[in-house]
Amino acid sequence: MSEITIAGNLGQQPELRYAQSGKANVRLSVAVTTGRDDTKQTHWFEVKCWDTLAERMSELSKGTRVIVKGRMKEDSWETKDGQKRTKLCLYADEAGPSYRWEERGSVKQDNQAVQAVQRGFDSDQEPF
């Protein structure tokens, strides 16, 4: 199975869910825009994340630029009225925010970690 990597923006707020087994999962709607001016096109990808990756990706907000690497798989199911449906989904192996166009200071930081590192630099002691 081949891998694919996409970079785009979250189209909606991620919603973290848990399976009956307790396994965390989240579906992301990612818009990838290509081209410029008259040739600009937006393609939408449904991305599925599991476990810790799902929990972390669910903390991001709508509009956040993300990078996702994973495998394309065809999901299939049957509707209530018996119709068979299929859809391509990107099952994420790796994912996270992209900082390519982020303004400095706009990304949330763990203030305790930042302060610990800063104290270490201020006192010439290793902060860890």
In the chain, the amino acid numbered 79 is T
Q: What is the pLDDT of residue 119?
A: 64
Comparing C-alpha atoms, which of 52, 60, 45, 46 is closest to residue 18? 52
Q: CA 30 to CA 44: how far, in whole Å?
A: 6
Q: pLDDT (tens digit, 9 = 90+) per residue, 54-74?
A: 999 999 999 999 999 999 999
Q: What are phi and psi of 114, to 5 degrees?
A: -65, -45
List the chain domain ranges.
Answer: 3-123
What predicted TM-score, i.e. pTM, was given to this entire model?
0.73
The topology under which CATH files domain 3-123 is OB fold (Dihydrolipoamide Acetyltransferase, E2P) (2.40.50)
**What's the pLDDT band for 11 if we cut at 50, 70, 90?**
very high
Higher pLDDT, 60 or 101: 60
Comparing C-alpha atoms, which of 41, 46, 36 is closest to residue 14? 46
